[in-house]
Amino acid sequence: MVKKYTFGKIFETYAVVADIAEDKSLQYFSVTPIGAALKFEYVLDSEDAVYGLGETVGAINKRGEQYISFNTDEVNHTPTTKSLYGSHNFIVVDGKQKFGAFFDTPSKVFFDIDVENSGKIEVTVESGNVRLYIVEGDSAENVVKNFLTIIGQGYVPPLWAFGYGQSRWGYKTESDIRRVVQGYRKAGIPLDYVCMDIDYMDGFADFTVDKRRFPDLKGFAIEMKQSGVRLVPIIDAGVKIKEGYSVYEEGVANDYFCKRADGKPFRVAVWPGTTHFPDFTKEEVRDWFGSQYKALTDCGIEGFWNDMNEPSIFYSEFTEPQTNQQKETAEPNHEQEALSNAYKDYKNFYHDVDGKLVCHYDLHNIYGYFMTMSAGEQLKKLVPNRYFLFSRSSYIGAHRYGGIWTGDNKSTWEHLKMNIRQMPSLNMCGFLFSGADTGGFGGDTTRELLLRWLAFSVFTPLMRNHTAIRTKKQECYAFNGKKDFKNIISLRYRLLPYIYSEYVKAVLKNDMYFKPLSFVYSNDATVKNIEDQLLVGDSIMIAPITDEGATSRKVYLPEDMTEVRYRNGQFECVAKQKGQYIVNVPLNEVVFYIRSGKLVPTCKGADCVERINLEEITLLGDGTTYEQYIDDGATYEINEKNVKILSK
């Protein structure tokens, strides 16, 4: 079912964990050298669909577009942006021929998929160094399952991480966070964690705490946990250059940082001012950097988010700062962030690979992934139970160590639509624990947009509301009509038995949590071009509202289903026959559908996950039994023994 082909000199990415024998007879693709590069071509049938590529913009069916795998901090991305924060080089061809192709290389890759009606897939690996895995199956869905099998079992976070999280760049003190938690509790809106952006650090230095702003982080973490809320601090990729800062001094003493061509440590400017980048290609550096999280886990911290790990660069010793602000390295702002990605800098620093200097540019796409590996491997030792971790930059393989969010999006309706299309594509590449900045990171959200976005994010494994400094308040209690926000977010907690169960079962079965309708209803021509309705787990179909001012939408039911309307904290169920409908969805309601013969377990809900009883279940739908995965939500014992049968 899987064949492997090797071209050029390979750098081990550890993306594939299965032992697959080398094959010499290449299937499906022809190969043409173009200088140092290699171009792979496949001739498409007129009806072929092409899926995959994970964190990319555009349609779920990638046909007609070009994408570039080169991890990019692109805060102003649009529906035509070619590169984002992750590189996920797996595509699925679904037609007369059904197969997947994973181009395993840390270097830049160009995907031209029937661009300008060429009738071909053209994949150009710039370095010419790549392992190509061809994955076969009798359906697109099974091709993906076979691929997920060879890249290894995905990450399962603690149960509390499936709760609702609030974040903002600009929570500067204990008092700021305390006000957020109190605001949610007073409004009766559930909340499980608050993310801490760079302001908690001492001078934006990793693994430090500003004692003026957080005089007793350990005590504060205990206080928050007693209220049912965890603290989730950020960790950036760059290490601040500062005498007396132990992480910096240890890194220099042990030769742990990326180098210039002359062997000296490479200096760049990011949030802390001048920094060095750890050389995550070295196992000893990964172990060392990951062990630094102990400074925060010793304070009772159980979750983190890794950022700026493309790696993002404002400027370096080889490139000039573009603003006075950059020269001063003063209080950071969003304009400064937009100046990141000085691509020529990626050719100005090197990794020490077995005693030889290898240009970062050629290994660029695995940097954030290896940072996630570094954190995940050590957090498993540092945190007594399951850790919570998600990252901005990624590559296939990182899904085994943590989740991802889709980066710095915008408070626009187009970005809500983009979020919906990205989820199944990310699942195809192993990233099940994923989500976007609900409400949008950049710009000012509106009450309407946030409510509609929440109505979708209710179903995403990672459900975090995050926004940038100097944007309007985006906490749900800051808007009029708090009851509407309470109603929608409470649905997440009432569906928790289903969401958690379907997520873990998908991990155990090497399956997807989100699927396009075409994966399941492959014989129904109507679903081929439907990309704003998704299957969530085995039982649910969703059809979110994604247009400003809309109070209804067209919904296609590919089979008889039960329509479930969540209104005022109650479920209202109506049987519907297969066909087209215009469905009214008021701003304070959520409508979803249960497939024929299926069930959905629900519970009473609570203000945080730990106060929910996952065994007090009410079953919705017209099925007879449901396989519920249920465990303690904390220990690493994740297996099918934890599945029990519920009967209606």
Please report the pLDDT score of residue 242 as a whole number.
97
Query: pLDDT tens-digit profile of 492-523?
Result: 999 999 999 999 999 999 999 999 999 999 99
Please report the pLDDT score of residue 341 as a whole number.
57
Please report the pLDDT score of residue 344 as a whole number.
85
CA distance 17 to 125: 22
Please report the pLDDT score of residue 362 as a whole number.
97
Please report the pLDDT score of residue 32 as a whole number.
98
Q: What number is the average pLDDT over the span 218-247?
A: 98
Please report the pLDDT score of residue 305 as a whole number.
98
User: What is the value of pTM for the model shown?
Assistant: 0.96
Residue 191 has pLDDT above 80, yes or no: yes
Tell me the residue type at 19. Answer: D
The answer to whether the beta carbons of residues 628 and 501 sit under 8 Å apart is: yes
For 128, half-sphere exposure in the C-beta direction (CA atoms, 13 angstrom radius) is 9
CA distance 450 to 189: 14
Q: What number is the average pLDDT over the span 399-408?
A: 98
538 as an active site residue: the answer is no
Residue 328 has pLDDT above 50, yes or no: no
> Is pLDDT larger for residue 77 or for residue 332?
77
Query: Which residue in the list 114, 310, 337, 352 is annotated as catalytic?
Result: 310
Q: Is 633 left (phi over 0), alpha (psi -120 to 50) or beta?
A: left
Please report the pLDDT score of residue 330 as a whole number.
37
Helix (H) or strand (E) holding 140, with range, is: helix 140-151
Q: Is 89 helix (H, G, I), strand (E, B) or coil?
A: coil
Q: Strands (DSSP E) along 343-485, which ranges? A: 350-353, 356-359, 388-391, 394-395, 403-405, 434-435, 437-438, 463-465
Please report the pLDDT score of residue 326 as a whole number.
44
Return the residue matching tokens 């969703």: 542
The answer to whether the beta carbons of residues 300 and 218 sit under 8 Å apart is: yes
Residue 121 has pLDDT above 50, yes or no: yes
> Is pLDDT larger for residue 329 or for residue 138?
138
Strand 437-438 versus strand 618-620 pairing type: unpaired
Query: pLDDT tens-digit profile of 160-177?
Result: 999 999 999 999 999 999
Query: pLDDT tens-digit profile of 447-481?
Result: 999 999 999 999 999 999 999 999 999 999 999 99
484 as an active site residue: the answer is no
CA distance 554 to 557: 10
- In the chain, the percentage of residues whose pLDDT exceeds 90 is 94
Residue 295 has pLDDT above 60, yes or no: yes
Residue 144 has pLDDT above 90, yes or no: yes
Q: Among residues 639, 79, 115, 179, which one has the least CA distance to residue 414?
A: 79
Residue 219 has phi, psi (to 5 degrees) of: -65, -35
Please report the pLDDT score of residue 433 as a whole number.
98
Please report the pLDDT score of residue 591 as a whole number.
98
Query: pLDDT tens-digit profile of 596-632?
Result: 999 999 999 999 999 999 999 999 999 999 999 999 9
Q: What number is the average pLDDT over the span 111-122?
A: 97
CA distance 426 to 454: 19
Q: How far is CA 173 from CA 170, 219, 223, 268, 303, in A?
A: 9, 14, 14, 28, 19
Residue 387 has pLDDT above 50, yes or no: yes
pLDDT band at 336 (very low <50, low <70, confident <90, very high): very low
CA distance 52 to 276: 34
State whether the Cα torsion 397-400-406-408 is positive or negative: negative
Structure tokens at 272: 């802390």
Q: What number is the average pLDDT over the span 108-134?
A: 98
DSSP string over 621-641:
SS-SEEEEE---SSSS--SGG
Q: What number is the average pLDDT over the span 192-197?
A: 98
The answer to whether the beta carbons of residues 457 and 435 sit under 8 Å apart is: yes
Q: Provide the residue count of the chain.
A: 648
Q: What number is the average pLDDT over the span 199-209?
A: 98
Please report the pLDDT score of residue 469 as a whole number.
96
The answer to whether the beta carbons of residues 184 and 482 sit under 8 Å apart is: no
β-bridge mates for residue 430, sequence order: none
Residue 475 has phi, psi (to 5 degrees) of: -65, 140
Determine which of 91-95, 180-184, 243-247, 638-642 has the lowest per-residue pLDDT on average. Answer: 638-642
Start-end of H helices in 203-348: 217-226, 246-253, 283-291, 294-297, 324-328, 334-337
Residue 647 has pLDDT above 70, yes or no: yes
Query: Which residue in the list 48, 197, 279, 408 is annotated as catalytic?
Result: 408
State whether the Cα torsion 373-379-385-387 is positive or negative: negative
pLDDT band at 343 (very low <50, low <70, confident <90, very high): confident
Residue 339 has pLDDT above 60, yes or no: no
The answer to whether the beta carbons of residues 49 and 95 sit under 8 Å apart is: yes
CA distance 54 to 52: 5
307 as an active site residue: the answer is yes
Per the prediction, the chain carries an average pLDDT of 95
Query: Which residue in the list 94, 307, 502, 631 is annotated as catalytic?
Result: 307
Q: What number is the average pLDDT over the span 421-438?
A: 98
Please report the pLDDT score of residue 342 as a whole number.
66
Q: What number is the average pLDDT over the span 351-362?
A: 96
pLDDT band at 329 (very low <50, low <70, confident <90, very high): very low
